[in-house]
Structure formats: structure tokens, C-alpha cells
Amino acid sequence: MHKTRIIKDKTAGATMLALTIFSILFVVVMFVGLYLKSVPVLEGKSLWSLLSSSEWKPIKGEFGFLPFIAGTLWVTFIAILLALPVSLFTAFYLTEYARPAVRKFVFPALDILAALPSVVYGIWGTLVIVPLISDRLAPHFVEYSSGYTMLAAGIVLGVMVIPLLVSLFIEVFSMVPRDLREASLALGATRWQTSQKVVVRKTLPGILASTVLAVSRAMGETIAVLMVCGCVMTIPKSPLDSGYPIPALIANNYGEMLSMPLYESALMFAALILFVVVFIFNLLSRIVLYRMEKRIGQ
């Protein structure tokens, strides 16, 4: 009896270790695969010229990725800018202010929002946000805008990210011990003061980590963005310009025109850029997170 349970325990441990190594290995394999596929396009041009050029003429073998990088950054930036405050205050309300009955109603609603397929968000963006921008908003600022803009993509993406961020923030805020809130309240602090000065401070690393997760998610979102971003290969100068984020580029073109030399390699390189950007972003935030936790003394 004794022996079997120990053998079971050891087997379970070894299996889980193997699976963990497998998932990490997967990331490495993916990186190596993308890199190997990108080699042809990297051999033709220097890395810098690929990243800084705006020329995209596959027939001539010209591949400049700057417009796509810029498009990705625009869309992600707008999305997070919109989603962050909304999510933060929603999470505050739900954890610090709302009655349990309200929570019971809102949590499932958020889950539904999170579970909607992204193509549904794309359609909503096309039918509602795009016309709203082209007819109502853009005329105040520019002569003409199709509505298929970085702003439209940012809004759609922002709304998609909100449920994710809210549930992450709620998770983070719920980890704050009740004693800590009460220590603040017992000194005569209002709930708002307690939220601002104690809950936020205590959870700053968690807020940051959640935001990084949301940014990574936003950078990679494809379908919904593709449907409303305009897919124009220029560097967007304002939120009311069209653009072409990297995931949209890959999704739109992969599988087509692959007879063109270097085209597939260029798309793989685009994927590699996305991979590396998300990777570096996560790495940097880890470092910041580590410093922060040390400073707060947790």
C-alpha cells in the first residue's frame, strides 16, 4: 500500500515536470521556427532597414515593416488607454463599493463579454463604431475619414480587453487582506481614500502585471482589428488614419501570393517581430515588477 502511493506521487511529479518542460520548449521551438523561416528575408536586407523602411512592394522584394509596427502600436496604445481607466474603476466599484447582489449580476455579464467571439466584436465595430467615427466624430477634425481607422480598431479592442482587465483587477484587489482596508478605514479614511492610497499601492505590481497581460493580448488580436482598421499600408499619423497592424497583415496575406519569392519569409518575420515585441515587453515588466515588490517590501 505504502509503496504504490509513493510510486504514484513520484510518477505524478515527473509527468507534470515533463509537461511543464514541454510547454516552455514549445515557446523556444516556435521562436526557432519563426527565425529559420525569416532567414531568407533577413539575408537580403539588414535588420534595421527592414524595421525602419515603409516600402512594401513584395513583387520587387521590398519589405518595410514600419507601417505595420506603427499600426500595432497605435491600436494597442488606444485600446489600453481606453480600457485601463474603465476597468480600474469598474473593478474598484465591484470590490470596494458594490453590494454582493450587484456583484452577482455583473460578474456573469463580464464573463459573457469575455467569451464573445472576436468576430462579433468586429461586426459590432463595423456596424456601429466605424459609421460613428466617419459621420459624427471625424468631420470635426479632418476633411474625410472612412471610419476604418486606428481609433475604431482601438475602441473595439479596448472593449474586448475590458472584461479581461476587470476580472484580473478584481482578482488582484480581492487579495488585499480585509485587515489592511480596515486599518485605513479605522483611521477615519473614506472608502475612496482607502482605494487610492492603500488598495492601489498594495496592488501596484498586480495592476501592472494585469496590464501587461492585456497589452500582450491586445497586440496579438487579429480578426476584430482586421475588420475595422482599414488595412492601408501607411504609417498612421493620427487616430483618424487607417493602418495595418501586424496580425492583420499576416492573417490577410498568409496563404496567398506565396509564390512570390521571399513573401512567406517576410510574413514569418512579421510574426517574429510580434513575438519578440511581446517577449521583451513581458521581460521588462517582470523587471519593473520585481523592483516594485522589493520597494514595497512584500
Partner 1 sequence: MIEVKNLNIHIKDAHILKDVNVTLPERQITCIIGPSGCGKTTLLRTLNRLIDSTEGVRLAGQVLVDGQDIIRSGAEITELRRRIGLVSQRPCPLPMSIFNNVAYGCRINNLCKGKELHRRVEENLRGVGLWDEVKDRLHAPAARLSIGQQQRLCLARSLAVEPDYILADEATSALDPISAKTVEDLFVKLKERYSIIMVTHTLRQALRIADHVVFMYLGEIVEQGSADQVFHHPQHELTQKYLSGAFS
Interface residue with partner 1, options 66, 73, 180, 235 (CB under 8 A) = 180
Binding to partner 1 (CB under 8 A) within 188-227 occurs at 188-190, 193, 197-198, 201-202
Contact indicator for 66, 50 with CB cutoff of 8 Å:
no
Q: Where are the beta strands (DSSP E) in the chain?
A: 56-57, 62-63
185 lies in the binding site for partner 1 (CB under 8 A) = yes
Using rule CB under 8 A, residue 182 touches partner 1: yes
Say if residues 235 and 67 touch (Cβ distance below 8 Å). Answer: yes
**Burial of 140 from C-beta contacts in 10 A (0-12 / 13-18 / 19+):** exposed
Q: Does 289 bind partner 1 (CB under 8 A)?
A: no
Residue 222: phi, psi to the nearest 5? Answer: -110, -65
Q: How far, CA to CA in Å, does 98 sit from each of 105, 109, 139, 272? A: 11, 15, 40, 44
Q: How far is the CB of 278 from partner 1 (least distance, A)?
A: 30
Q: Does 183 bind partner 1 (CB under 8 A)?
A: yes
Query: With respect to partner 1, which residue has the nearer C-beta, 184 or 210?
Result: 184
45 binds partner 1 (CB under 8 A): no
The number of residues that bind partner 1 (CB under 8 A) is 24
Buried b / exposed e across 238-266, counting CB within 10 Å, b at 16+?
ebbbbbbbbbbbbeebeeeeeeeebbbbb
Measured from the CB atom, is 15 or 193 closer to partner 1?
A: 193
Q: Is 104 in the site for partner 1 (CB under 8 A)?
A: no
Question: Min. distance of Cβ 160 from partner 1 in angstroms?
Answer: 32
**Which window, 66-74, 131-139, 149-157, 177-185, contacts partner 1 (CB under 8 A)?**
177-185
Amino acid at 190: T
Question: Are 197 and 190 in contact, with CB atoms under 8 Å apart?
Answer: no
CA–CA gap between residue 24 and residue 31 (Å, rounded): 11
Task: Give the residue with the Cβ less far from partner 1, 2 or 297.
Answer: 297
Work out which of 76, 95, 134, 184 binds partner 1, going by CB under 8 A. Answer: 184
Instruction: Name the site residues for partner 1 (rule: CB under 8 A).
Output: 100, 177-190, 193, 197-198, 201-202, 295-298
